[in-house]
Structure 1
Amino acid sequence: MSVSTSPTVVLPPLDAQAERLISLGLIADPDALRAEASRLATVTPEGSLLVPHERVLPASKLAHLMRLPAPGRAGAAGEVREGFVVEDMTNVDDFRPTAHAVLPDADVYVVADPTRGDEMRNWSPAEALPAMTGAGRTPLTLVEGIHWALQTPGIIEANACFMTIGSRKTKPNGDLDTRTPALWISSGTGRDGRERKGAPKVGWCWWGNRHTWFGFASAEGRTGA
């Protein structure tokens, strides 16, 4: 079966993605990023995602830069909601790439054909991973998912969000934490706070649970140096 369904959200060219990251104040050496984006554009297909390695830009430095229009007020002076990490995920940077999501040893790399995996909504992560890898795809990491949202905010939609099961936390005994990171939209309830209603958020779900609004983001592969 196919596991690559995604909404029609077109990523800009890699050089435009580099300029987006530079404009957000994330890049210490803009010229180096521009040069690397230009080089990678010659060896990767269109529609790829430019990603600085998470050792350079971890999730904790990226999540607050995500933006979505305030609910019901898209035309009200451009009011937007800022991204955030849920309060009980203070260890967000401890969720690191798994053996199913090996990153290139490069400060900047590209992810080919990122897709949201809508057809796997109401699957558990435990069910989605073997289907994904069996189709020759690799799960997106949390940092890759955030970069996708930074470049194409519309990829996070109400009732159609995604998990990034390429990132897991390892316990001291070597077992994997049963939480899996995900990106979705806050309802403004509980500890999120009413002022965050409609904001893009980084949170988590249990490995064995199903949710009707979560797909499973995956990619064809990664290319670096």
Structure 2
Amino acid sequence: MPDTSSVITVPPLPSLAAQAERLIELGVHELAGIPADEMRTFAEDAGSRDGDALLAVHPDHAPASALAPLLRRDGKPGFVVTDMPDVDRFTPCTVELPGASLYLVTGLDRGDHMANWSPEEALPALTKDDRTPLLLTEGIHWVLQQPAVLERNRCFMTIGSRLRKPNGALDARTPAIWISNGTGRDGRERRNAPKVGWCWWGNRHTWLGFASATGRRVQ
């Protein structure tokens, strides 16, 4: 397997102030029930202490199903695959979130070096490297703020989000964000659109890395 110590360089994020304005422009603050001024203040207070950090809204306030359509690529909106109607039931697993509506995600890595690994192989490797897998909502936030992070053949999984069945077992699907080819049920009109989908826990895909971070925190 590849060396997991390598870090792939991806386009930097805008400032936290600019990220806050982006979310407000998209209406995420209204979706989440957070006043625009509160979002601006959070970003302003944190801006002097964090460099390349991602401003995220807690998934309880802004679920993946509401965020995905805000994505854009080639002028086309993002979407969730039709066979994932339960997308918002994919909740944090092995991930501890700050107890706040707004928080920061630090040390982002797209995980290109783990392309063609299975989620089953990737999770323990990330844990060993003291990294935490991104949630699906965090991955969407990342692409909202920096669309260039989603490239053909360089997309990513967000295995911090899992669905737990009524019997306590984890669903074998694991969420990911990639670019639609416009085939099958996606529809030709969605070719090149950002796509929220899923892959099996034990399967490998050459175009999917594993997005992760060094941590999460509030001010």
TM-score normalised to structure 2 length: 0.94
SS at match of 1:62: helix
Note if contact 2:10-2:109 (Cα within 8 Å) is conserved in structure 1.
Answer: no
Match of 2:45 in 1: 39
Q: Residue by residue, what CA displacement relative to the aligned partner does 1:143-177 show, whole Å, maximum 9, x if unpaired? A: 00000000000111111100000000000000100
1:139 pairs with 2:141: no
1:83 pairs with 2:78: yes
| Mapped partners of 1:214, 1:221: distance in 2 | 21
1:189 pairs with 2:194: no
2:218 aligned to which of 201, 220, 224: 224
* 1:160–1:38 distance in 2 versus 1, CA, 3 Å: same
SS at match of 1:57: coil
Note if contact 2:4-2:114 (Cα within 8 Å) is conserved in structure 1.
Answer: no
Match of 2:65 in 1: 60
Match of 1:76 in 2: none
Pairwise mapping of residues 1-225 of structure 1 onto structure 2 (< 5 A)?
1-3=3-5, 5-28=7-30, 29-43=35-49, 45-69=50-74, 80-99=75-94, 101-225=95-219
Note if contact 1:4-1:115 (Cα within 8 Å) is conserved in structure 2.
Answer: no
Note if contact 2:98-2:218 (Cα within 8 Å) is conserved in structure 1.
Answer: yes
SS at match of 1:33: helix
| Mapped partners of 1:14, 1:198: distance in 2 | 28
**Equivalent residue pairs, number:** 213
Q: Residue by residue, what CA displacement relative to the aligned partner does 1:49-71 show, whole Å, maximum 9, x if unpaired? A: 000111111101100010112xx
Q: 1:3: Cα distance to partner?
A: 4.7
Unaligned runs of 5+ in 2: none
The code of the aligned residue for 2:119 comes to: P
The code of the aligned residue for 1:96 comes to: T
Question: Percent identity, aligned pairs only?
Answer: 57
Ranges of 4+ aligned residues in structure 1 off by more than 6 Å: none
Unaligned runs of 5+ in 1: 70-79
